[in-house]
Amino acid sequence: MIAWTAQQVAEATGGRLAQVDPTVLVTGPVVTDSRQVEPGSLFVALPGEHVDGHDYAESAVSDGGAHLVLAARELPGVPAVIVDDVEVALGELARGVLAALRDAADVPGGEPLTVIGITGSVGKTTTKDLLAQICATAGATIAPEKSFNNEIGLPLTVLRADESTRFLVLEMGASGIGHLEYLTRIAPPDIATVLVVGHAHLGGFGGIEAVATAKSEIVTGLLPDGVAVLNADDSRVAAMAAKAPGEVLTFGTTDAADVRALDLRVDRAGRAQFTLAFRGDRAEVALRLVGEHHAHNALAAAATALTAGLPLAQVVTALNAADALSPHRMHVVDRPDGITVIDDSYNANPDSMRAALKALAVLAGRERRSVAVLGEMMELGPETRVEHEAIGLQVVRLNIGLTVVVGDGARPIAAGAVREGSWGEEVLFVADLDEATRVLESELRPGDVVLVKSSNDAGLWRLGDLLTDVEVPA
Ligand SMILES: Nc1ncnc2c1ncn2[C@@H]1O[C@H](COP(=O)(O)OP(=O)(O)OP(=O)(O)O)[C@@H](O)[C@H]1O
Ligand SMILES: [Mg+2]
C-alpha cells in the first residue's frame, strides 16, 4: 500500500483509532493472512469461515511486525482502527487509496493510471493474465493473483497499487445481482470488458437474464468517460452497449465487431491462431495457450489493450509471447513416459467443460487415445442433472477413448454417455479421488492424452497435481 498514516486509514474507513499513534505509517502490504504479514503491514482481521482473523491480530503485530490492524473490536495492546464491518472497511480503504492515486496521477505531466475491470461467466482469469502481460510491456502493471475477484480479493489487489502503477487490471466476479455494483464502487474502471454471459454459477442467479443484468453492472459502474469493451458475438453482452455511459468498442468474429478475429484455426497442439483486424490494420496472432476457446479471451485482451491506447503491433507481439499464468488452466505437460496431461482442473462449468473436451480431442488426434477424467460441475442449481448428462453426450460425440467419472455429483455424465451409445469399458464411474488415482495407475499407458477437469470444490486439481508432478519410474 502507499504509505498512509493510521489517521488516514481511519478517515477512509470511518473507523476510530485504538491504542495507536495517529501518525504511525503503514509501509508494508495489506494482508488478511497473518502468515503473509511483513514489517510495516496493515493486517486486516476478517472473520473467516473457520478462523477469526482477530485471533491472529496480536501475533501479526508482535511477531510479524504489522504496524496496524483493521478490526471490528479492540484487542489488548494491538494498534488498530476499529470499524463496524471489516470487509466493508477494506473496500472503503481500497476506494480511498485508489482515489488518492488518481489524484496524484491527475497533475500536469503526471503519468495516467488506467483501471481496467474484466467480467464474464468464463475466461476472466485467463483474459486478465493475458492482458496483464500485454500491459506490462507498456508500463508498471498490477493484476490479481490467481482469481482474486471478489469483495476481498479485489480491494486487496487495488491496495497493491502505488504511485508507479500505470495499469491496474482487475478481475471482477459476480455470483449475484449487486456484486459488480459493489466492486465498481470500490474501483470505478476507465475500461470495462465483458466476455460472455454463460451458464457459470447459474444456481445463484436464477436464470441467464439475471446473469446478464448482473454482469451489466460493470458497464453502469464505469467512470463517466469510461469505455465499454463488449463481445459482439454474445447478444446479451452486445446489448449492454445501451447502458454504456460513453464510448463502446466491440470484439468478435463477425464484421459487426470493431476488433475482429479472422481465419480462426487450431494447430495440432491445440493452440489457436487467427488474424487480428482493427481499423484497417492486421496482425497475426499465434497463442501459446491450449484450447480454441482461448482465442476469444485473447481477442478480448487485445481489444482492451487497444482501448487503453497500445499500438496493434505491440499488443500482438505481447499476446504471442504470453503464457497462462494461473495454475490448473489448460496446463499441458508431456510426461517422459509418453503420457500427455491436460490439467484444466481449476474449475468447470458446462461451457468450459465442452471447450476442454474439444481441446482433448484435438490434441489426441487420430493416433492417440483420449482419456477424460471428469468431476462434478457445481452451482448449476436445478439444471445440474441435465447439464451433466449433456457432457456425457459430448464425450461420445467427440469419441473420447476412456472417460472416468469421479464422484456422485458427476454420475449423470456416465448416464448421459451410456444413453448416447457408449458401451463396454469406455466409461468408468469411480466414487472418489483415491479410486480415480488407482484406476488411472492401472489404465494409463504411453501415448494417452489425459484431461482432468471438475469444479474447484470437487477437488480434481489434486489429481491434476499428482498427474503432472509425478516422478515417472523408468
Ligand atoms: N471462452 C471460454 N469458453 C469456454 N471455456 C473457457 C473460456 N475461457 C476459459 N475457459 C475455461 O474455463 C475455465 C476457467 O477459466 P478462467 O479461470 O479463465 O475463468 P474465470 O472466469 O476466471 O473463472 P472463475 O469465475 O472461476 O474465476 C478454464 O477451464 C478455462 O480453460
Ligand atoms: Mg477467475
pLDDT digits (tens, 9 = 90+) for 77-118: 999 999 999 999 999 999 999 999 999 988 888 889 999 999
400 φ, ψ to 5°?
-70, 130
Residue with cell 476488433: 259
What average pLDDT does this structure show over 368-397?
94
Q: How does pLDDT run across 116-129, given as a tens digit for each residue?
A: 999 999 999 999 99
Mutation test of ligand 1: which of 199, 234, 352 has the most ligand atoms closer than 8 Å to its C-beta? 352
Give, for ligand 1, the residue of 121, 122, 331, 379 to mutate: max count of ligand atoms closer than 8 Å to Cβ.
Answer: 122
Q: Determine whether the shortest distance from the Cβ of 355 to ligand 1 is under 6 A.
A: yes
Are residues 313 and 319 in contact, defined by beta-carbon separation less than 8 angstroms? no
User: Helices in 322-377 by DSSP H: which ranges?
Assistant: 350-364
Residue 379: per-residue pLDDT: 86
Tell me the CA–centroid distance for residue 427 and ligand 1, in Å.
25
Contact status, residue 218 vs residue 191, Cβ threshold 8 Å: no
pLDDT of amino acid 199:
65
Please give the grid coordinates belonging to residue 42. Answer: 496493515
Q: What is the pLDDT of residue 472?
A: 45
Question: Is the beta carbon of 351 within 6 A of some atom in ligand 1?
Answer: yes
pLDDT exceeds 50 at position 474 = no
Closest ligand relative to 147 C-alpha: 2
Average pLDDT, the chain: 93
Q: Would you state the pLDDT for residue 203?
A: 60
297 lines ligand 1 (CB under 6 A): yes
For residue 159, the 8-state DSSP code is T
Please tell me the residue having the least CA distance from ligand 1 atom 1. Answer: 293
> What residues pack around ion ligand 2 (CB closer than 5 A)?
124-125, 147
Is the pLDDT at 204 greater than 70, yes or no? no
By most ligand atoms within 8 Å of CB, the mutation choice from 147, 347, 379, 460 for ligand 1 is 347
Indicate the pLDDT class of residue 470, thresholds 50, 70 and 90: low
Q: Is 347 in the pocket of ligand 1 (CB under 6 A)?
A: yes
pTM of the entire predicted model: 0.90
What crossing angle do the helices spanning 124-135 and 294-307 adopt, rounded to 10°?
40
Does residue 473 register a pLDDT over 60? no
Question: What DSSP character marks residue 449?
Answer: E
**What are the pLDDT digits (tens) for 154-195?**
999 999 999 999 999 999 999 889 999 999 999 999 999 999
Name the residue at shortest CA distance from atom 26 of ligand 1: 347
Cell of 291: 484450447
d(CA 455, CA 346): 7
Decide: 11 in ligand 1 pocket, CB within 6 A: no
Share of the chain above pLDDT 90, in %: 82
Domains defined for the chain, CATH in brackets: 4-83 (3.40.1390.10), 89-321 (3.40.1190.10), 331-468 (3.90.190.20)
C-alpha 22/C-alpha 10 separation (Å) is: 9
Query: Which ligand lies nearest the alpha carbon of 200?
Result: 1
